[in-house]
Amino acid sequence: MELTDRVYVAKARSGDADAYRVLVERHSRSLFRLAYRMTLNEQDAEDVVQESFLRAYRWLGRFDERASFGTWLYRIAANCALDLVRARRRRGEDLAAGGEDAEDPVTALPSGAPSPEREALSSEVRERVAEAMQELSPAERTAFVLRHFEGMCIEEVSRVLDCKPGAAKHSVFRAVQKLRRALEPLTGAAR
């Protein structure tokens, strides 16, 4: 945990809202990236970010100051996103279900200036990646996003998921295996 985070957390716990503002401003973008990759939906990701900071604020008193605030926040955000993904699945609203109102996974992908990687992906490939991600269970998706996109080590992933490192590792394994099954035909064809 950065010293500055520690200082701001202490101030926020003593009632300094401006200190909490600093924490929000500092962690918003990384939290949004995590939330987006978990939910695959921009508006859902915005909701997750907001809800995560509200929950974190309410629970500041429970935060162990020796721990990393960023990891703690990620755990809250991952759980918010998990709640949302699970709720959608229960209601059959997951994007993969392809309901009429479901956002098209392809059009839900970020817009803006294309990066070389983005350009390299045909719309079909992007669609398949989004679909494959949605085939992952919520826990697999979380573990994979944290390990693959956020670059967390298995230990950190396990702390966010509040599980043993072995369980986190197996979630990552299962996620990668599912992604391979779904995407290998595409990458093989592209070889």
Partner 1 sequence: MNHLSEEQLILHYYGEGAGEALPVEVHLEDCASCRAAYAALQRVLNVVDGLEAPVRGAEYGAQVWERVAAQIPGRRRLLWLPIQGWAPLRWAAVSAVMAGLLVAAFFAGRFYPQPRRAAPMAAADPKAGERILLVAVGDYLERSQMILVELENANAKEPLDISSEQERAADLVGESRLYRQTAERTGDTRVAGVLDDLDRVLLEIAHAPSHLSPEDLDKLRQRLQAEGILFKIRVLGSNVRSLGEEGAGKRL
The radius of gyration of the chain from alpha carbons, rounded to an integer in Å, stands at: 18
Site string for partner 1, 13-42 (x = CB under 8 A): --xxxx--x--xxxxxx--xx--xx----x
CB atoms within 10 A of CB 177: 11
91 part of the interface to partner 1, by CB under 8 A: no
**Distance from the first to the final alpha carbon of the chain:** 42
User: Binding residue for partner 1 (CB under 8 A) from 65, 91, 153, 166?
Assistant: 153
The answer to whether 176 contacts partner 1 (rule: CB under 8 A) is yes
Kindly tell me the burial class for residue 85, based on how many C-beta atoms sit within 10 Å of its own C-beta (0-12, 13-18, 19 or more): buried
According to CB under 8 A, which one of 1, 126, 135, 163 is a site residue for partner 1? Answer: 126
Quote the distance between the C-alpha of residue 79 and its chain's center: 9
Q: Does 163 bind partner 1 (CB under 8 A)?
A: no
Q: Does 6 bind partner 1 (CB under 8 A)?
A: no
74 φ/ψ sector (left φ>0, alpha ψ -120 to 50, else beta): alpha
In contact, 140 and 178? CB cutoff 8 Å = yes
Candidate list 48, 80, 95, 133; residue touching partner 1; CB under 8 A: 133
Rule CB under 8 A: which of 49-88 touch partner 1? 49-50, 53-54, 57
- Distance between CA atoms of 126 and 98, rounded to whole angstroms? 16
Q: Which residues bind partner 1 (CB under 8 A)?
A: 15-18, 21, 24-29, 32-33, 36-37, 42, 45, 49-50, 53-54, 57, 109-112, 115, 117-118, 120-121, 125-126, 129-130, 132-133, 147-149, 153-154, 169, 172-173, 176-177, 179-180, 183-184, 186-188, 190-191
